[in-house]
Amino acid sequence: MYSENSVFVLDAARRPLSPCRPAQARRLLRDGKAAVLRRYPFTIILTEEKPQADPKPLAFKIDPGSKATGLALLDKAGRVVFAAELEHRGESIKKGLDDRRMYRRNRRSRKTRYRAPRFDNRRRANGWLPPSLQHRVDTTMTWVRRIWSSSNVAQLSVERVKFDTQAMQNPEVSGAEYQQGELAGNEVREYLLEKWQRRCAYCDASRVPLQIEHVVARSRGGTNRVSNLTLSCGPCNRAKGADPVEQFLCRKPDVLAHIKAKLKQPLKDTTAVNATRWALFSALAATELAVEAGSGARTKFNRTRQGYPKAHWIDAACVGESGALVALDPALRPLRIKACGHGLRQRCRPDKYGFPRTAAPRAKFFLGFQTGDLVNARVPTGKYAGRHTGRIAIRFRPSFRLTSKDTTFDVHPKYLTAVQRADGYAYF
């Protein structure tokens, strides 16, 4: 069982080889037989051209999510050799589009120069997605191509369709027997667990068995819609019974208000996943690799059956039929990847009225650095004397802003050494 991420290895011609353990990579680097190609994910390249054995085929598995996507790379034996969690920036993209729309509408209503509206005769292509949703597909495919270029990926797995193990175990199952199988209700229950943070809605108890609770009891005309469902522990469920929730929580007005507000919470994240799953599957199929599809219920079934905790990268490892038997260490620290974008297209920043308040930037690079570069800083004197590693924000003067794990301060670029150039992502 692997307890840490493996290191990607390329030969001298930049062809992918089988990933190796960190200890083996350190020996190759120490002996001068390899050099560091990338820091995140850590990749080395051999300095000598030697005949190598054929790389072992690997399976790259994906658990798409609205805010974060789990990634896992497994070998033929089902062992996780690399794990990562990709954090999307769909919310910031939507906010940027909303701000742009507001500025444009305000400009048209002010007494500025007249600009005739353009006739809206533009058509959207088939399969068009809003930028905030298309971003999720694009960033996921970016990392599929990156891992593919660094390892011998032979199969892709993605959580997409509903997959029922009842039909696999008993092809003759039908009727109510089929509906009451092992996966019955798992989809709704998983959604409620995420929505209510795995806590009792009435007493806020956690780490206890939770039951699906009808806020308006079925005997009082309540339905099975998710807007009428919550989670509660056994004692609270029995104490409430069929009583109205207002009567049961008459002494807890804050809890009652929280539950009513939570019940009306929109299915925004669920809709984002549903809207992008086919686009992501089509993009994966275009790679011409074998693509395995699985449902969320099957993923949870595989994970709980093997006793693994809830995590995005663990869900990714358990996707599909191949996720029934996987070997992983729950204490593994996956690579945290956060999408940050490649800068702004705005030439200047506007104020709240839409008027420009800053000058346009002169260039994207200054003194060989770019905002977002990962650097090592060796500060000889002063309050921040010592070695620091972090990301920089450039200024058009010899004073950059360095943000490290512990602190943020200004540093002269002559003390900086580039570790990895900005690629639109931050790593933790």
Residue 162 zone, left/alpha/beta (φ > 0; ψ -120 to 50; rest): beta
Residue 200's pLDDT is 93
Residue 162's pLDDT is 43
Q: Which two tokens stand for residue 279?
A: 């686009």
**pTM value?**
0.76
Confidence of residue 125 (pLDDT cuts 50, 70, 90): confident
Q: Lowest mean pLDDT: which of 13-27, 54-68, 101-115, 123-137? A: 101-115
Q: Are residues 85 and 150 in the same domain?
A: yes
Q: Are residues 395 and 316 in the same domain?
A: no
Q: Are residues 155 and 278 in the same domain?
A: yes
Residue 117's pLDDT is 66
Is residue 78 in some structural domain? yes
Is residue 358 in some structural domain? no
Residue 42's pLDDT is 94
Q: Are residues 144 and 74 in the same domain?
A: yes
Amino acid residing at 151: S
Whether the link from the prior residue into 19 is cis, omega within 30° of 0, is no
Residue 73's pLDDT is 96
Q: Are residues 233 and 283 in the same domain?
A: no
CA distance 407 to 392: 12
Judge whether 107 and 354 are in contact, CB under 8 Å. Answer: yes
- Range of the structural domain that residue 142 is part of: 59-89+130-164+269-339
**Model pLDDT for residues 53-110, shown as the tens digit of each residue:** 788 999 999 999 889 999 999 999 999 999 999 999 998 999 888 888 887 777 777 7
Residue 33's pLDDT is 93
**Residues forming beta bridges with residue 58, ordered by sequence position:** 153
- Is 165 a residue whose pLDDT tops 80? no
Residue 3's pLDDT is 67
Is residue 360 in some structural domain? no
**Model pLDDT for residues 168-220, shown as the tens digit of each residue:** 344 455 555 545 554 455 567 877 887 888 899 999 998 899 999 999 898 88
Judge whether 46 and 73 are in contact, CB under 8 Å. Answer: no
Q: Is the dihedral of CA 353, 358, 359, 363 positive or negative?
A: negative
Judge whether 4 and 22 are in contact, CB under 8 Å. Answer: yes
Judge whether 164 and 187 are in contact, CB under 8 Å. Answer: no
Residue 177's pLDDT is 52
Across 136-209, where does the E strand assignment appear?
153-159
Residue 248's pLDDT is 92
- Is 343 a residue whose pLDDT tops 80? no
Q: Which two tokens stand for residue 38?
A: 């990338």
**Residues forming beta bridges with residue 314, ordered by sequence position:** none
DSSP calls for 333-356: -PEEEEE--S----SS-B-TTS-B
- Is 268 a residue whose pLDDT tops 90? no
CATH of the domain at 421: 2.30.30.520
Largest CA distance in the chain: 77
Say which residues have a Cβ less than 8 Å from residue 35's Cβ, sequence separation at least 6.
29, 44, 45, 47
- Is 244 a residue whose pLDDT tops 60? yes
Residue 9's pLDDT is 95
Per the structure, the count of domains in the chain is: 4
Is residue 414 in some structural domain? yes
